[in-house]
Amino acid sequence: MASTKWLQGAFVRYVVEDVLLRMRARRDIASRVSIALGAALDQRTGVVWNAGPLWGDHCEPFDLRTALQSALPQIDWIIVNDVTATLVSIARQRREPLTGTLMYVTVSTGIAARTWSSALDGIPIDGLAGLQGEIGHLPVACSFRESVLHGRCDCGGSDHLNAFSSGRGLNFSLRRYAILTRRCSNVE
C-alpha cells in the first residue's frame, strides 16, 4: 500500500501535469487555478487537515497550496473544500438577494455541511483551523436492536457520523444490520 506522502506527491504531480496539458492545449498561460477538494481543509491557507478517502487515515496536515506553488510558482493556487465551492456557486446563482442563512449538506464519501451568512456576506469559518461544517467527524452513538455498533471513519477516528452514514459507512451499517437481523431471527 502506498504511503500518505507518496499519495500526496502523486496528487500534486497529477494536478501540475493536468494544468500544463490544458495550458498547452489552449495555447494559454493560466495565472490562477482553483481546486475544489473533498477534504477537511483550512479555507484561508489551503492546508489539508485530513483527507482519509484520498490519503488514508492518520495523515498529517498537508500544505497543498505550498506544494503546488513550489511546482508551478507562476500560478496563483486557490484551494477550497468541495462543499464550500458548491455552496458559493448556489449562493451566487440565486436570482433574489440572499437574506439570513443558507445551508448545504452533502452525503457522499463523507458528510459535510456549509452555511452562507448574508450578514457576513460569505461562509464563516473557524478562526483557529479555518474549518466549517465537518459534521461527518462528529462522534455519534449508533445502535440497532439494542446492539451498540462501532465503526471506523476514513480519517481513522472511531464512531464518527461518517463511519455509519457516509457512502462507505452506509454499506458498513447495512451489513451489520443484516448480521444482527439474522441473529435475532435465529433466536426467535
Give SS3 for 13.
helix
Do residues 125 and 43 lie in contact, with contact meaning Cβ atoms separated by under 8 Å? yes
CATH class of 4-81: alpha beta
pLDDT band, very low/low/confident/very high, at 141 (cuts 50, 70, 90):
very high
* pTM attached to this predicted model: 0.75
pLDDT tens digits for 108-124?
888 888 988 888 888 88
Query: β-pairing, 76-81 with 32-37?
Result: parallel
The DSSP line for 66-119 is: HHHHHH-TTSEEEEEEHHHHHHHHHHHH-SSPP-SEEEEEEESSSEEEEEEETT
Residue count (the chain) = 188
CATH 3.30.420.40, the chain: domain bounds: 4-81
Q: What is residue 156's predicted lDDT score, i.e. its pLDDT?
A: 83
Q: What is residue 137's predicted lDDT score, i.e. its pLDDT?
A: 87
